[in-house]
Chains A and B, each alone.
Chain A
Amino acid sequence: MSVLQIPTRPVSVAGRLRWALADGWTVVRRNLAHLKSQPGQLIAELVFPAVMVLMFGYVFGSAIPIPGGGNYREYLMPGLFGMTAFTGVLATATVVAQDAGRGVMDRFRSMPMARSAVPFGQTGADIITGALAMAGMVVCGFAIGWRPHEGPARTMAAFGLLVLLRYAISWGGVLLGLMIKEETLDKLVPLIFPITMVSNSFVPTGGMPTWLRVIADWNPVSAIVAACRDLFGSPGTTGSAHLVWPLAHPVVATLLWSIVLLVLFVPASVHRYRTVDH
């Protein structure tokens, strides 16, 4: 049997960065390869948002009036985009929690692999599956009459914001997955929907009782949804007379939320990955 020597450890900062990026990319490829052996998971991720679009679009569509008038389905689409960016937290957490209990993590941890490669690879793969799910929603949205009205630049900006926020949320999912067992996670599923629904995603917050409205207005879901409505030129953006700050500046607010989440969750997740099981 031929003998291959173990590589030597890179010493320069650039060398280590290149090493870590290569490892991260290997993990991305692994996570995407899982979709090949479990196509059901990808289909579920694509079908769920599509079902939401059709269900909410037609079930609620006729009953909910939009401030300033307009088509409810055009109002709804940014809400669904924003909502799926958030519910991704559970998809990520579940994959990570399943992975954490698998033997392969032990092998990863005993290999000369960048410590950050597994969480970065996981979140990297999430960007790709998240973008696919979003593409599926765009197609459904077009089918029910949603259109971006503000030109390609602002449309791309909206999707850029969605991807960024989804990425930050992914890191929250990694941390959650490393801290909570898979069985416990299943019990959290019913909680995530109220959290995303107490926002402006399905209905304007103007009609809510004051205490709920305050929560809804400051919910980060509302910021991204408002930013998307702004950038797509959807109806319902000019409803309230006195908007709270995040809704008056939704793009900046979404950027800030994303940065805050990343600053909190990236180091915490990487640290947790290194030390879990010690």
Chain B
Amino acid sequence: MDDPEIAVWAEGLRKRFGRTEALRGLDLEVVRGTVCGLLGPNGAGKSTAVRVLTTLALPDAGRARVAGYDVVRDADEVRFRIGLAGQHASMDDRLSGRDNLRMFGRLYHLPERVARARADELLERFGLAHAADRIVKTYSGGMRRRVDLIASLIIAPPVLFLDEPTTGLDPRSRGEIWDTIRELVAGGTTVVLTTQYLDEADQLADRIAVVDHGRVIASGTPDELKATIGTRVDVVVRDVATLETAAMVLKSTTGAEPEIDRANRRVGVPVKGSVSFTDMVRELDQAGVTAEDVAMRRPTLDEVFLRLTGEPTAEEAAA
């Protein structure tokens, strides 16, 4: 836990709001210079975890260290080592975008000249120069999100927390943010990001922690997570009448329950362990099914996510 290679470390974090238990024993470990993606359904506790790690909320129990400092005891030290773009806009909406960025630059104690130049540079780079002198209240949702993000990029902190950084951004802005995150990581910054876009996690994250009901229920590299639910076989039949037969064949060869997609004449089944592809094709053939396409593919992160977070918890099942 005092390992300098561990930039973010949390153990048993708990946080309760009235009767809601937002965190129920969350553990996390992020290696320095890597990107950790927090995935989870709405209300899973991702933002609460980020707020605790960035000293905005006090945990009820558990411990956490960021950049080597305890988030409760040494909160001041932690703040000198983090950057944060929270889920909700955190700009002064009665100041212009430029004045906001200059103010934050001053609060990082950049010399006045540097604070001004930095604000201009960032506004230019992220395509906000035309709106720089309007008050933030008049910005569109995506513009607000962008100015909020660039405020956390004024300086390069050792650890950067981004809570749903690209929600509401157009594809081009999203690409720019991704590039910037990669640049920062190449420069040694550790990034913790939450996202609802699984392709974003797939693209950026070295490791993913799936959060559900205030706990990390699975973690690993995107590939490791995909491997946990195995590969899938999808068969597209020529004649929709043979769909049921194909499903029966798949069931007998894999032992899993196939999903039938009548509209696309497709039947698919998850495969755990090893199944012979050629055996499957032969058996389909023997059963008189003419397949237009037989494909074995790895699951998407979306499927992993739905699988992991779809099952009700013990409490829910009991209720």
Question: Which residues from chain A sit less than 8 Å from chain B, CB to CB?
Answer: 1-9, 19, 22-23, 26, 29-30, 33-34, 37-38, 102-113, 115, 277-278
Contact = CB atoms under 8 A, between A and B. Distances in A.
B79 A111 contact: yes
12 contacts: A1-B180, A5-B155, A7-B108, A34-B94, A103-B90, A106-B56, A107-B91, A108-B107, A110-B55, A110-B86, A111-B108, A112-B79
Contacts of B84: 106-107, 110
Contacts of A104: 90-93
B82 A4 contact: no
User: Which of A29, A107, A277 gathers the greatest number of chain B CB atoms within 10 Å?
Assistant: A107
A110 B56 contact: yes
Interface string B54-66: 1111100000000
A112 B88 contact: no
B90 A106 contact: yes
Nearest to A3: B156
Contact of A112 (B86, B93, B108): B108
B95 A30 contact: yes
Contact of A4 (B76, B103, B114, B158): B114
Given A5-B155, A6-B158, A277-B56, A30 B76 contact: no
A106 B86 CA distance: 8
A15 B104 CA distance: 20
B157 to A, nearest CB: 5
A22 B91 contact: no
A106 B77 CA distance: 17
Nearest to A113: B107
A110 B103 CA distance: 15
A23 B92 contact: no
Q: Which of A33, A38, A277 gathers most chain B CB within 10 Å?
A: A33
B121 interface: yes
Given A22-B106, A110-B56, 8 more contacts: A4-B110, A6-B156, A30-B92, A37-B95, A38-B94, A104-B92, A107-B91, A113-B107
B81 A6 contact: yes
A34 B107 contact: no
Q: Considering residues A2, A22, A34, A111, which has the most beta carbons from chain B within 10 angstroms of its beta carbon?
A: A111
A37 B135 contact: yes
Contacts of A1: 121, 125, 153, 180, 183
Contact of A26 (B89, B90, B107): B107
A135 to B, nearest CB: 24
Contacts of B146: none
> Would you call the interface of chain B mostly helix, strand, loop, or mixed?
loop
Given A5-B156, A6-B155, A109 B107 contact: no
B77 A102 contact: no
Nearest to B81: A6
A30 B103 contact: yes
Interface string B229-265: 0000000000000000000000000000000000000
Q: Which of A6, A30, A109 has the most CB of B within 10 A?
A: A6
Given A26-B103, A103-B90, A104-B92, A109 B56 contact: yes
A110 B79 contact: yes
B187 interface: yes
B121 A6 contact: no
B99 interface: yes
B107 A23 contact: yes
A3 B88 contact: no
A244 B121 CA distance: 64
Contacts of A105: 90
Contacts of A111: 79, 104, 107-108
B89 A4 contact: no
A29 B125 CA distance: 26
Nearest to A23: B107
Interface in B128-145: 135
A200 to B, nearest CB: 39
A6 B58 contact: no
B138 to A, nearest CB: 10
B92 A2 contact: no
A113 B109 CA distance: 9
